[in-house]
Amino acid sequence: MRERDEGRGLSRRRMLGIGGALGLMAATGLSASAALARRPSVTGAELRSAVPLPPPFQVPLPIPAVLKPVSTSGGADRYEITQREASAEILPGVRTPLWTYEGAFPGPTIESRRGRPVTVTHRNELPVPTVVHLHGGRTPAASDGYPTDLVLPGGWQEATPHTGHGSAQEAHGAQGAHGAHGAHGAHGMHDPRAVVTRLTRDYTFPLDQRPTLLWYHDHRMDFTAPAIWRGLAGLQIVRDDAEDDLGLPAGPRELPLMIADRAFAADGSLDYPSLDPTLRERPGVREPYLAGVLGDVILVNGAPWPVHEVDAARYRLRILNASNARHYELEAVSDDGRRLDLVQIGADQGLLAAPVTHRLLPIAPAERYDVIIDFSGVPVGGLVRMVNRLGSGRTREVMAFRIARKATDDSRIPRVLSTDLPSWRRSEAVRVREFDFRVGRMHGGHGWLIGGLPFDPARSDVTTRFGDVEVWRLVADVHHPVHLHLVGFRVLSRSGRPPLPHDAGLKDTVSLRPGEGVEIITRFDGYRGRYLFHCHNAEHEDMGMMANLEII
């Protein structure tokens, strides 16, 4: 197995920075399909930590605490989350300052039931404005965390105009007062529809949607990537009776796994190549990292290469790739080199119709996979490593499971998991749209563009009628994990061929590979209002790769 890896090591480990992208696409005149033929496995550049890193599989896997509601009356649950600075011992013996939800990274998990509304009052005690988005939530626009719907810190003063990308368009007006409408993006674009609050904001989530794993994270205009990197990410789980009745592994045999890479500076802080480390004024990252920021430490639930003791039984792994730019191809390998099946039961937007068995599971930033793994065939004392086939050196390991004891197991994997998946047909689509996701010129520098344009909150990009079914064709230069707010979609095709096995089910993020064209189909319903679609490589998102989606 090792030899085979070495044989294709060169291409497997090739990383594509923005220079590489431009080199492939523009300077040499290579077409997208030629770029695809070279198959770079990663888009982005890796930071190297300046502190000693611990050996793998020493730190126990943390399970994020479940947040207690402050009220459950009136058929709805109310929660309060304070966003504040905290520090944590992520690497043994090293203190790391973080930006957190409730002092923890990941933030506390919110457990919720389908159709039971949840209101979360977020209080911003961080030094910068924030925005909360519940990724995968079917949420009214007012609570969806539009990037200019800022929650300002108590004492926030409007920053002086930065000279960021040197654009003449960057004329800032005066920021509106307390609770005012209107906000400015860092590139000086006034957004008259923004609803800005000071200190707190109530986000209301009806959760009238299929049960699944959601995640909440920061979505502030121009500064989403560094804010998530500093720790602003947490999980929310939606359940319902039908799923509870399936007999899937549950309780301690259901594990949320938030995978994220990070790098550490010499003083123990999280390293990140921000142009403005205060994250107050000038957005963006240093040139080598424009295509994405990768870390050399793999965290699962905030712990480096953790280990978890398990029974020799089935487990349900609810995997989220919360990395800014890193892609993974996960496989589970036992001591004797045997690969365990990863039986996928759910996608971003809930249960599949039927299980799909993988040996190798690709997972792009923001994607979620609901997977059953069976440890019953592994001897007690054995170790099963979760390996990332796209990594090299330390980033090849993710975490491990140590089989601690024999155990009885009455869980099962039903052959039919759900019968409510939408089955939209091409013939139902009232229109087909095409969007190019490409590197390009933006504000005098390099940016990431959709249809040749960088994000502008004031521009109409897509306007669609409530209830319309549409087919979208998404075309990529390098890797772009494309995310639609509000709606789930089905993958119809990849470069004219049938979808891949892991494209099954209802998704809200689809991984475009270099040079690929992916067709998706969806119905725009749920709520009317202003939403977004964007690349979920968080650096691309901050540097232009978003667009407006208005449902009327």
Rounded distance between C-alpha atoms, residue 501 and residue 345, angstroms: 12
Q: Which is nearer to Cu ion, 105 or 448 (CB)?
A: 448
**Cis amide linkage into residue 106, ω under 30° from 0:** yes
CB of 533 to Cu ion, least distance (A): 12
CB of 284 to Cu ion, least distance (A): 15
Rounded distance between C-alpha atoms, residue 64 and residue 405, angstroms: 24
Residues that bind Cu ion (CB under 5 A): 480, 535, 537, 540
| Alpha-carbon distances, residue 439 vs 164, 436, 446 (angstroms) | 18, 10, 7
Residue type, 308: H
Q: Which is nearer to Cu ion, 122 or 534 (CB)?
A: 534
CB of 480 to Cu ion, least distance (A): 3
Q: Which is nearer to Cu ion, 253 or 483 (CB)?
A: 483
| Alpha-carbon distances, residue 458 vs 75, 191, 293, 464, 548 (angstroms) | 37, 6, 28, 17, 9
CB of 366 to Cu ion, least distance (A): 11
Q: Which is nearer to Cu ion, 302 or 447 (CB)?
A: 447
CB of 99 to Cu ion, least distance (A): 23
186, 282 contact by CB (below 8 A): yes
Q: Which is nearer to Cu ion, 45 or 307 (CB)?
A: 45
Q: What is the DSSP string of 146-199?
A: -TT--EE-TT--PPPPP-TT--TT----PPP-TT-EEEE-TTS-EEEEEE-EES
Q: Which is nearer to Cu ion, 47 or 535 (CB)?
A: 535
Rounded distance between C-alpha atoms, residue 98 and residue 89, angstroms: 10
Instruction: State the maximum Cα–Cα separation within the chain, in Å, rounded to a whole number.
Output: 68
Query: In this structure, what token pair is assigned to residue 295?
Result: 């870390």
Neighbouring C-beta atoms of residue 487, cutoff 10 Å: 22
Q: Which is nearer to Cu ion, 146 or 448 (CB)?
A: 448
Burial 524-543 (b: 16+ CB within 10 A, else e): bebbebbbbbbbbbbbbbbb
Q: Which is nearer to Cu ion, 370 or 539 (CB)?
A: 539
